[in-house]
Chains A and B, each alone.
Chain A
Amino acid sequence: MRELFNAARTGFAEIWAHKMRSALSFLAIAAGSMVFIDAFSAIVNTYSQLEQQKAVSGLARLKVTNNRSLSLSNTDGYQMPPVIDYEEVAALRRQFPDLYMVSPEAQDWREVLQYDGRNVVTSVTGVTPDWTKRDFIYKLRGRFINKYDMDHKLRVCVIVRKAPPPPSNDYFKQRRKEWNFTASFDELAAHNDLLDKTVKIGRVTFTVIGVLDALPYSERPENLLGYSNDYQVLAPVTTMYSYNMLGPYDSLEVNVDTGNEATFDETVRKIRNFFKVRFGSEDAFVIENQMGLIRERMAESVRSSLATVSLGMLAFLAGGIGIMNVTLATVFARTKEIGVRRAIGASRRDIMLQFMVEAVMLGLIGGVIGSVLGWLWDVPIKVILGMGAAKISAWIPLVSVLIAAFTAFVFAIYPAWVAAGLKPADALRAE
């Protein structure tokens, strides 16, 4: 232990005496450490997204839609492809009462909403109470649509107020402005408290029973599926069918959370069978395995991070070779010193230890500097660049410093061995 301490002291003096050379030699190690931290924090972020997704909603999700590409038309005339209507969904619910969520939705894309003498364009989405079991990113005032509203086809609706959009580049801002045909609705909802008021949508009068305030983007969990619908007005899907806001040709998209990852595949098979029996053919509907999608996305992001990790490893390798080079140079520059130390009684082990400790110190310093740079890049700089801070757990820099030290250790073995193998008499004669 004391020997280590002494070697460390000598090593530190030597590193300090050759600041430039030392800095150059641990630069590559620092780069490796930085890349490593960035890549690993990306992997950790991916898994924390997964955890968030699990917390907000389950992973065992699937989506059933009718097959829009199916054509049953023939020369005798046009024949509509089968649609999933509310009756199908209700039957699915009855058949599988254990499903955590069965949330159908259908959108009436373009309606005129009248309020206080103003007409604004909006879209109305027909939902069921289960809708709140989706990635629920709202604060609710008033109440949500309940079973009573559903059963009695009541003309009630819930208004969604948008959160300020996330910071993004000018291109996307421009697109959003061009395509947002409900901008005047958003403005109306933002500036008027519509709770408990009546609004006229198309020719039907609705009572606003709830207002959903969308959470700011910073507070939302990341959506691993990568897409989310834009909602303005939510109404019971039964009401919408009843008042012809949805026609018999409008098919429901059914989001299902089976609630159990372990039995997911089995449940998917059962649901597929269920619809196959209902429609008589597997061609009539499409089941999107969202758990599979999530897994794919995760694997993709982990793969790309691993590619970065391998870059980091290459940098470590280059750094290791740099350290080997500089240690060899040090050995040759200090051959005489080695001779002196051997003459006054240092053993081979002492000499080896000295150079090993020196190289490992270079690695450690490089690792620490790289960790600091990695943190600077991942937190403040990314925030400045608008990329959002990456999460860095404590173990990531720790591991990267350890890898840096280990790399230095491995690459210092040969130079240190050369140093220890010098014959004292020859070393003393060196100039």
Chain B
Amino acid sequence: MVNEEKVRLMTKLAVFEENKGKKTLSIGDYYRSDFISKNLLSGFIAGTIAYFLLFAIWALHEGENLVQSLLELDFGHIIFLVIVFYGIFMVLYLTICYLVGDYRYRRSVKSLKAYKKALKRLENM
């Protein structure tokens, strides 16, 4: 005999696994610190590439002026500025990465809790 309530619960769980659950369950494999570190590491690589692309756009646009100022100004001074701006940019970018990672982890922990509760109920049926 098919247990209707069981089918209802199993259906809900299966729908969750098919849709939202895919991502949530994969995040659930990580510890919070591991998940955020992973996010920060990929953020560091992406941020660095983005910064140098932005720098390239600026440098290409400035072109002649840049060469002029390189000749007039101290070369070390310009390198120093590039590094300082890189630092500011990365702090901002990594903060966003941290906040996004943290938010996603918290949210998936919440739905995982509900999911596990439902699994437990299913087990006891």
Q: Specify whether A and B are partners.
A: no
- A residues near B (Cβ < 8 Å) are none
- B residues near A (Cβ < 8 Å) are none
